Structure 1
């Protein structure tokens, strides 16, 4: 993933090791992590499974480093960290480092992290043979990252669980709310006042339903629903089931989705909104919410969460274009900072 993290100086190896989980969003295990630097600044971090064939790993990491160099400043050096207690972890990490060096990347550091210890893989005397003791929680980097609001989940599976769907009574309640929302949408588009919920005339889509064409009413209702959702989320609130269902039904229209996209960025409350809706969404309606979650996560530098959201989006709709666009950005190592804010609307 590309990174636009807060700027501070990592002066010790332990600071580097303490910071990696916050760059990735989780604590890696059985992994190789490569950090690409432009001069002295980390501008890309990527992880791959330790057990993958070396050639596949090197090609993947090289593509990410090259893409980051094309889109940002050229990568001038790399650092690698292997994770795993298995003796083969050290040799695999060395092999990947040698292969990247052969491709022209200056390798500044190669470390192995195992348990509560680490050791250098470039020399035999700068760390003890059994490794130097290491407590991640006491590192300055971990303290600063926590202060900046960065979060490192216990493992990759924990990130995937963040986007898992709700179950039980909550899922049943949302299904019923979606049924009501679909009836409401049918009434809105058909301009049937009898089918609308007249007990709540302030709901978007019920007021002024007779104004304009069905298409105009749809866009107006979708815009209002998005604006209401963002206002509630910004104030620390949460959409009730009917509000959530109404919004998710309307977001199937790309114009309504794009209105939400243009008003979502890297604010934590925006990410919380789309995460909540992704978890509550009906499978057939999920692609827009999960893609908006991926957008906010990517803009926040949480590439792993963005990837998890995109997998849910594409499982719901394999052809969803926004999900494919964001997937390509992740795979190409596009930096979130390479895009400025949306133009003022």
Structure 2
């Protein structure tokens, strides 16, 4: 299940609910990729009741699993305390034959829609509408008019929506699907042997340095190396190319130290947040397991704080693939599954940086 959030800029954008098709057309911006065979719940709140909040997505369930899927999705959405919700079924499935044998067919996935409405009502969330999106058109399951007949539907709005424009302003690049989003973390072609050798050299050098200066000094040296690397990825940084294998391998080993990694978490809250996220992405792509677990976890935090829950989930999957026992990644996975909002994560990181008054 993907748990992306429409935070900046969507948390400041009022969606005109008089046109549900506009919301349906904006699903790729809300999710970060074009969904297929999916069910999506969009939380709505704010003074007008039309502000987009948390958005959750799941695969369409197999027969007999509709009730469980609906409960899981609604439970996740409820963590954001929305006043209402818009449910969207994205599917290319054909219409269902009418059970009484009449000529009129029915929109597909009605059993799932029924369970979604029941689960939303049980959670005290008003179901504003339930839509089907199929092959460039949308339908409302509750609409009695001819335009909502299974063979009709309404074309999705053309042009650039407000959410799409906001996404462009923030540099969001929408993936064709979730698999393409995950491919953004794939290792570059031919990077394996050289990086493996670099990691061995970095391990030997770190062990020797530990014997020479001790752990506290090594932590400070490692943190200084992280700061220098982040500076090289700042927008507009001149005269400095990307890190080579040896530099990235050294960072991978440095971030295995929880004291260095926890300092690096704070970068997501400061002016170097964007540069740090680029660095974590590069480390995740190029360093091998288990060294990729720490930068992947840092990448998940960065993505989560800017509202990209889909990438946060993918990065956490990568971290736990590299190190299934990685403590921070496991904690963040549970928090993401519980739909901790970005503001909650920001508060936790900020409080973790405060000095202990008892120390």
TM category (shorter chain) comes to: 0.7 to 0.9
More moved, 239-248 vs 8-17: 8-17
**How far 1:293 sits from its partner (Å)?**
0.8
1:1-345 correspondence runs (5 A): 1=3, 2-6=5-9, 7-11=12-16, 12-38=19-45, 39-52=49-62, 53-69=65-81, 75-86=82-93, 87=95, 89-103=108-122, 104-125=124-145, 127-129=147-149, 130-135=152-157, 137-168=159-190, 170-191=191-212, 213-235=213-235, 236=237, 237-265=241-269, 267-338=273-344, 339-340=346-347, 342=350
SS in 1 for 2:147: coil
1:325 Cα deviation (Å)? 1.7
Once the 2 structures are TM-superposed, how far is the Cα of residue 335 of structure 1 from its aligned partner?
Answer: 0.8
Per the TM alignment, residue 136 of structure 1 is displaced from its structure 2 partner at its CA by: 5.3
Shift of 1:115: 0.8
Q: CA deviation at 1:126?
A: 7.0
Distance 1:325 1:101, change over 3 A: closer
Distance 1:13 1:179, change over 3 A: same
1:208 equivalent in structure 2: none
Residues 26 and 136 of structure 1, relative CA distance in 2, 3 Å threshold = farther
> What TM-score do you get using the length of structure 2 for normalisation?
0.82
C-alpha displacement of 1:188: 0.7
Q: Answer whether contact 2:196 2:288 (CA < 8 A) is retained.
A: yes
Render the CA deviation track for 1:8-31: whole Å, top value 9, x for unaligned.
222232321222211111111101
Task: Give the C-alpha shift of residue 165 in structure 1.
Answer: 2.8
Question: What is the Cα-based RMSD across aligned positions, in Å?
Answer: 2.2
- Of the structure 1 ranges 263-272 and 4-13, higher mean CA displacement relative to structure 2 is found in 263-272
Q: Tell me, which stretches of 5 or more residues in structure 1 are unaligned? A: 70-74, 192-212
Unmatched runs of 5 consecutive residues or more in structure 2: 97-107
- Contact in 2 for aligned 1:36/1:45 (Cα 8 Å): yes
Q: Which shows bigger deviation, 305-314 or 79-88?
A: 79-88
1:83 is displaced (CA, Å) by 0.4
Alpha-carbon distance in structure 2 between the residues aligned to 1:35 and 1:302 = 15
